[in-house]
Structure 1
Amino acid sequence: MTTRNAQTTTPAPDRAEQGSHHWVLTLVLPGRAAATQYGTLTPAPGATRYDTFLTIRQYVVDEYPELTGATVVFFALEANQL
């Protein structure tokens, strides 16, 4: 099984450059591949959590086309503030 993790090699952007929400998504094709990605985004006005989930999932699949049809094993979407 191949595991891929997105890793930042540069300092985090200034707060003004970050989105309003932070997300983490893990997709798995059992025995074949897995990917965990994370980032920030600002959902479109009126977007639902489901809309945002679909947008993020498509982003990850675009990065790793072999994960088309993969199972979601983890998803988190939280406000990007402490």
Structure 2
Amino acid sequence: MSSQSHAQSQGSHFFVLTVEKPGLASATSSGSYTPPAGATRLDAFNTHYAELTGSAPALQRANVVFFSLEPNQV
């Protein structure tokens, strides 16, 4: 697979999100993501936070330790 076709199979942005419930649980999610037209950084954050914290009851209302959203280019 060429690097161009590989990049096209990925999202336009790369994200990393880490959350923690001190003393109970922590989790990190990362991957590529293409936001819908007109979406904001806050929209992207809310989407990924809801997905990550919704995946496990122990993570409900977890604190954000780290969030990064950048164009998926080198």
TM-score class normalised by the smaller sequence: 0.7 to 0.9
Determine the C-alpha separation between the residues in 2 that align with 1:38 and 1:79: 13
User: 2:3: which partner in 1?
Assistant: none
Match of 1:69 in 2: 61
Matched, 1:52 2:44: yes
Q: Which residue of 2 aligns with 1:22?
A: 14
5+ residue gaps, structure 2: 1-5
Structure 1: which 5+ residue stretches go unaligned? 1-13
Q: TM-score, normalised by structure 2?
A: 0.87
Matched residues, percent identical? 48
| Letter aligned with residue 42 of structure 2 | Y
TM normalised by structure 1 equals 0.79
Aligned residues: 69
